[in-house]
Structure 1
Amino acid sequence: MSVEVSWFAALCDDDHEFLGVSDPALLSSWEHCRGIALAAEEAGFDNILLPSGYALGIDSVAFAAGIAPLLRRMRLLLAVRLGEMWVPQLARQLASIDQMLGGRLTVNVISSDLPGQTLGSAPRYRRTLEIMRVLRSLLDGQPVDVDGEFVQLTLDPPRVRAVGRAPFYFGGMSEAAREVAAQAADVFLLWPDTLPKVAATLDDLRARAAAHGRTLRFGYRAHVIVRETEAEARAAAARLVSKLDDGVGERVRAQSLDTGSAGVANQVALRDSADDEGYAEANLWTGIGRARSGAGAAIVGDPDQVRAKLTAYAELGVECFILSGYPHRTEADLFARYVLPGLDHAPLEF
């Protein structure tokens, strides 16, 4: 059973040796994030997520255009926040980057409040769905004629279009988010959760997609801490939060534009359900969520345990993993050394 294994480029100032402690050497920059991406390609990862923020870090689209000519085989999973940019211009930019990559672009669609704006969940997801449909048409070289709530546009496609499918990876746990995924996503992304809850979510999304005559594929976004022994891995997890002040962690979480989302609420609930050491189930550690708003748990263990955990998710139907660790370049090397050679992995085909 082959899966896509991706790493994470810390474009949003999300790189640390100790959570909650800022390190100027690990802040987002072209040089630092380029190093993570090139190391991930050298290590054999299939794809790399370029996250999108506003207050922190560097721009994902600009970074993608810069790194694309430097990559020989790895895909880019480019995160874009729909609504920040006029959709025809976004389509041209994505198509141009896909041309640079020779058809290896994948798109992580983000639905969140925009900087300086608050929009209720229901209209925000209606906006996301409208833009996804228009963006899909333009990337596929199709004209659009839309008189929607948020998009009014009659336009022929630009000459430059995506080489490949440029599939949409999309996540969200609210009812509205799940319905958007069922109608317009190619890959539904989950944040960490226990195996039974992951299974229930996959079953729900399969049924929703089927109701629209569609099928979905599934991805799992998590952190990872792997060492030669489980004791060493658990010690590394404890060390990561050993200097974390809870007040600092709360301020870090509050900086995100999605702090009120259903997905974030689920991560809080997962952390609340954990044992005294922060483990929600075997090898699933929630300590990272103390200083992170989004995906807030890590797979922690020795190489066999980490591989077994990934395999358990894959057996439920997860076909791609987007992993990260702290510091990102160091943890990518450890995962590539201990786990990646034992996994049957390759980019998803669409």
Structure 2
Amino acid sequence: MPVEFIGMIGTTDVSETRPATGPVVDPDFTRRFAKAHEEAGFDRILIGYGSSSPDGGQVAAHVAAHTERLGLLVAHRPGFVAPTLAARTFATLDQFSGGRVAVHIITGGHDAEQRRDGDYLPKDERYDRSDDYLDVLTKAWTSEGPFDHQGPHYRLEDFHAEVRPVQQPRIPLYFGGSSEAAYRVGGKHADVFALWGEPLAETAEQIASVRAGAEAAGRSTPPRISVSFRPILGRTEEEAWERAHGILHTIQNRGRGGGSFVGKRAVLPVGPDARPQNAGSQRLLAAAAKADRHDRALWTAPAAATGAAGNSTALVGTPETVAQALLDYVDIGVSTLLIRGYDPLEDALDYGRHLLPLVRQEVARRERAEAAREAAARLAAPVTAGSAR
């Protein structure tokens, strides 16, 4: 299976190393940022969600109008709009974009961030609500006629949407989380289950948990797996690590001042003293506590410096080293790679020039070799007596 590359965009030029400047919504920058990913060869871009962020659906519509083939992965938190309205909204966007939409379900792992939007449900109940929400969303996209639904969080009668997705049988669902509840709900519903970049052994453990959740839900085919990283590239290993330590120094200096690394207001507590509630951040901090470096090129120091506020582990090295590190994750069952840089637009272009082609070429080479082995095995198979003519 070909590997899928996802980038991430925002509506202003900002990162952990770059303070936000200019308007919160800069239409021209957003257009250039998206087109940079399209030109670099990314398959999709993630448009994030936060309680103070611009609306992701409208950002996606703007991007769709200024790109031709780039997929749109819109982050969405269940519970703030009715699932029937969400179904129509995303189906409409899928129609206008020519079938380029996917939805990334984020249940929400931090109580304070949820309360900013008026949500006071505890975490486990939020996952139960997501389960019910996705049942309705899927029915709305796939039911041939009107339907009723009576679940623990949503009740409706005689619902039917005239607008349906271009993509059949429905819009793809991505799902993020690292808790037992996430494995259960995402294992049931997700086409792609999204993880943050942990060491290989821990990632393999999570993949097994996702597959167990899918099996418990009665699925014969488990979700595909996505893993997220922050690649830091250099022409040599020394140059890459020099750049990496410069990035870390900037993050640490900014962290001492408090506040947000990525905007005017933090979505999660940030900085080395942060104590995040969400399991994904806790797991990244646990990996960072064990060691700064893991496996071929994984570097956890940025996660420690930011309190693992978001996907914050890096892969450091030459393009060849980082490509091989990404392929190590492909080897354990990962098919989607979400990568974004600390110099967001410039890094996206660099990844397209130097990193994506190396990974894709090797995946294609492996697929050709496997096809050749299978063909040779068929030719070498003995002819049974019953098959003789």
Could you say whether these structures have the same fold, taking a TM-score greater than 0.5 normalized by the shorter chain as the test? Answer: yes
Counterpart amino acid of 1:2?
Answer: P
Does residue 286 (structure 1) correspond to residue 303 (structure 2)? The answer is no
Aligned to 1:209: 214
Aligned to 1:38: 35
In structure 2, the CA distance between the partners of 1:118 and 1:274, relative to structure 1 (3 Å rule), is farther
Deviation at 1:93, TM superposition (A): 1.0
Does residue 344 (structure 1) correspond to residue 360 (structure 2)? The answer is yes
Tell me how far apart the structure 1 counterparts of residues 358 and 296 of structure 2 sit (CA, whole Å). 21
Tell me how far apart the structure 1 counterparts of residues 23 and 244 of structure 2 sit (CA, whole Å). 19
Deviation at 1:35, TM superposition (A): 1.5
1:83-133 deviation digits (Å, cap 9, x = unpaired): 111222111110011112211211101101352433211111000111111
Aligned match of 1:263 in 259, 280, 287? 280
Tell me how far apart the structure 2 counterparts of residues 298 and 144 of structure 1 sit (CA, whole Å). 46
Please say if residues 217 and 318 of structure 1, whose CA atoms lie closer than 8 Å, have aligned partners that are also in contact.
yes
Tell me how far apart the structure 1 counterparts of residues 158 and 356 of structure 2 sit (CA, whole Å). 45
1:137-185 deviation digits (Å, cap 9, x = unpaired): 1122454422222111123321111111311100111111110011111
1:237-279 deviation digits (Å, cap 9, x = unpaired): 111232333334675499225941111111221222223xxx2
Does residue 319 (structure 1) correspond to residue 329 (structure 2)? The answer is no
Deviation at 1:208, TM superposition (A): 2.2
Does residue 235 (structure 1) correspond to residue 242 (structure 2)? The answer is yes
Aligned to 1:176: 181
Please say if residues 225 and 336 of structure 2, whose CA atoms lie closer than 8 Å, have aligned partners that are also in contact.
yes
Deviation at 1:46, TM superposition (A): 0.8
Instruction: Give the 3-state SS of the residue equivalent to 2:249 in structure 1.
Output: coil
Tell me how far apart the structure 1 counterparts of residues 310 and 214 of structure 2 sit (CA, whole Å). 25
Deviation at 1:20, TM superposition (A): 5.3
1:287-317 deviation digits (Å, cap 9, x = unpaired): 3322351112011110111110111101111
**Structure 1: 4+ residue segments shifted above 3 A:** 25-28, 141-144, 246-254
Deviation at 1:68, TM superposition (A): 1.2
Please say if residues 133 and 154 of structure 2, whose CA atoms lie closer than 8 Å, have aligned partners that are also in contact.
yes
Indicate the percent of aligned positions where both proteins have the same amino acid.
32
Aligned match of 1:247 in 256, 260, 270? 256
Counterpart amino acid of 2:8?
Answer: F
Q: Structure 2: where are the runs of 5+ without partners?
A: 109-113, 270-275, 364-389
Please say if residues 15 and 26 of structure 1, whose CA atoms lie closer than 8 Å, have aligned partners that are also in contact.
no
Does residue 331 (structure 1) correspond to residue 338 (structure 2)? The answer is no
Please say if residues 225 and 325 of structure 1, whose CA atoms lie closer than 8 Å, have aligned partners that are also in contact.
yes
Higher mean C-alpha deviation, range 168-177 or range 253-262:
253-262
Tell me how far apart the structure 2 counterparts of residues 333 and 119 of structure 1 sit (CA, whole Å). 41
Please say if residues 14 and 27 of structure 1, whose CA atoms lie closer than 8 Å, have aligned partners that are also in contact.
no
Tell me how far apart the structure 1 counterparts of residues 201 and 92 of structure 2 sit (CA, whole Å). 41
Tell me how far apart the structure 2 counterparts of residues 27 and 269 of structure 1 sit (CA, whole Å). 34
Instruction: Give the 3-state SS of the residue equivalent to 1:241 in structure 2.
Output: helix
Tell me how far apart the structure 2 counterparts of residues 305 and 288 of structure 1 sit (CA, whole Å). 19
Q: How does 1:1-350 map to 2 (within 5 A)?
A: 1-11=1-11, 15-16=14-15, 19=16, 21-25=18-22, 29-55=26-52, 57-112=53-108, 113=114, 115-142=117-144, 143-164=146-167, 165-214=170-219, 215-243=222-250, 244-245=252-253, 246-248=255-257, 252=261, 255-256=266-267, 259-275=276-292, 279-289=293-303, 290-291=305-306, 293-344=309-360
1:185-240 deviation digits (Å, cap 9, x = unpaired): 11111101000111111122212212222121111122111222111111111112
Instruction: Give the 3-state SS of the residue equivalent to 1:24 in structure 2.
Output: coil
Counterpart amino acid of 1:284?
Answer: L
Instruction: Give the 3-state SS of the residue equivalent to 1:320 in structure 2.
Output: strand
Tell me how far apart the structure 1 counterparts of residues 25 and 231 of structure 2 sit (CA, whole Å). 20
The number of residue pairs the alignment matches comes to 339
Tell me how far apart the structure 2 counterparts of residues 38 and 141 of structure 1 sit (CA, whole Å). 35
Q: Structure 1: where are the runs of 5+ without partners?
A: none
Instruction: Give the 3-state SS of the residue equivalent to 1:130 in structure 2.
Output: helix
Please say if residues 10 and 328 of structure 1, whose CA atoms lie closer than 8 Å, have aligned partners that are also in contact.
no
In structure 2, the CA distance between the partners of 1:28 and 1:301, relative to structure 1 (3 Å rule), is farther
Tell me how far apart the structure 2 counterparts of residues 180 and 257 of structure 1 sit (CA, whole Å). 23
Counterpart amino acid of 1:7?
Answer: G
Using structure 1 for the length normalisation, give the TM-score. Answer: 0.90
Counterpart amino acid of 1:306?
Answer: V
Deviation at 1:33, TM superposition (A): 2.3
Backbone CA RMSD of aligned residues: 2.3
Tell me how far apart the structure 2 counterparts of residues 141 and 39 of structure 1 sit (CA, whole Å). 38
Counterpart amino acid of 2:297?
Answer: N
Using structure 2 for the length normalisation, give the TM-score. Answer: 0.81
In structure 2, the CA distance between the partners of 1:250 and 1:297, relative to structure 1 (3 Å rule), is farther
- Larger CA Rg, structure 1 vs 2: 2
In structure 2, the CA distance between the partners of 1:156 and 1:196, relative to structure 1 (3 Å rule), is same
Tell me how far apart the structure 1 counterparts of residues 310 and 225 of structure 2 sit (CA, whole Å). 18
Instruction: Give the 3-state SS of the residue equivalent to 1:154 in structure 2.
Output: strand
Instruction: Give the 3-state SS of the residue equivalent to 1:40 in structure 2.
Output: helix
